[in-house]
Amino acid sequence: MTALPHRYSLLAVVSLAIVALDQATKAYIMHTMYLHESIPVIPRLFNLTYIRNPGAAFGIFASSSSAFRTVFFVITSIFALGLLGTIFYRLRLEDWWGHLTIASIFGGAIGNLIDRLRFGEVVDFLDFYVGVYHWPAFNVADSAITVGVISLLILFAMEKKKGSPASEPAPQENQS
């Protein structure tokens, strides 16, 4: 049996680290705060606020039935994870930034999928605001997905500018 290629080890380590951090922070919030409790961290800028989001980003689908949301988000997550896996596989072997980016998004998607399967909603607690203007609360998984998607867009833009698309199939790895 051969060892996992380096890039698959990177995918596993980064994704699992994000999932572990995401789930640990959510567990801490759920066990130390009441639902809708808010603790100021940086006055007039940042609170820890324990909420649960039954919908997607910005509360999309929040008013849909629980059964619909569960089926929709599980199918969407599986599709997204498959797409990420395809992109990951097609990246050049030396593209560590691309691999790290995909691993970040992958880990975030799994973190939020775990919440949806366990609770039917996602635990959010990072609450940034200025005055009365609040950014929707989010969590570690959301942060990993957002940073990963922005990074992936930058990567694709840079690859396109160089004339060497990131979507070219990767050379096959040595199986021996």
Q: Tell me which residues are annotated as active site.
A: 124, 142
CA distance 34 to 46: 18
Hey, is 138 helix, strand or coil? strand
Contacts of 130 (CB under 8 A, 6+ apart): 44, 45
Is residue 87 within 8 A of residue 102, CB to CB? The reply is yes
Please report, to the nearest 10 degrees, the dihedral formed by the alpha carbons of residues 13, 53, 151, 100 taken in order: 10
* Contact (CB, 8 A) for 51 and 125: yes
Q: Buried b vs exposed e over 51-63: b needs ≥16 C-beta within 10 Å?
A: bbbbebeeeeeee
d(CA 151, CA 109): 16
